Amino acid sequence: MLETLQFLATLSATLFAGAAIYINVAEHPARMALDTRGAALHWAPSYKRATWMQAPLAMVGFLCGVGAWLLGGGLVWLIAALFIGAVVPITFMVIMPTNRQLLAAGRDLQSGETRRLLDRWGRLHGIRSIASAIAATLMLWGLIAR
């Protein structure tokens, strides 16, 4: 059971980290190369679709990581689980206010404010990329160091 939880935690965290890093390294910079209206129009459906993939991955990574720790996997699994689990409250408390502003009805999609919000969103999303990369690295190390 321990090995299964470690595998699922690591798989979930690495998939999340890969997707998050891709967003920061490729997708969002490409989106920002568009005019502000085009970038905002692309951001909204992309954000909504990514949520359905990333939220479950974060939760599975967290729960399986905690489970691995509880079954004797070592402290590294708890620490890693806390890093991948942290992306959920980070999203709700830090990033969601910007998301709501970007999704607000009647927003002028061509405005300088929309451009600044998209820029801010990219920087804030970077926190998720870093936290998930730390989690994935710790979990991979936990698998190798056994």
Distance CA 74, CA 96 (A): 33
Asked if residue 100 has pLDDT above 80, the reply is yes
Residue 113 one-letter amino acid:
E
In terms of residue numbers, what domain contains 25? Answer: 2-144
Q: Count CB-CB contacts under 10 A for residue 20.
A: 25
Name the percent of the chain lying above pLDDT 70. Answer: 100
What number is the average pLDDT over the span 57-85? Answer: 97
The pLDDT of 36-51, averaged and rounded, is 93
Residue 54 tokens, joined: 């990333």
Q: Determine the Cα–Cα distance for residues 61 and 72; give it in Å rounded to an integer.
A: 17
Q: How many domains does the chain have?
A: 1
Mean pLDDT of 131-138: 98
d(CA 86, CA 84): 5
In this prediction, residue 146 carries a pLDDT of 72
Average pLDDT over residues 127-134: 98
* Whether the predicted pLDDT of 12 surpasses 80: yes
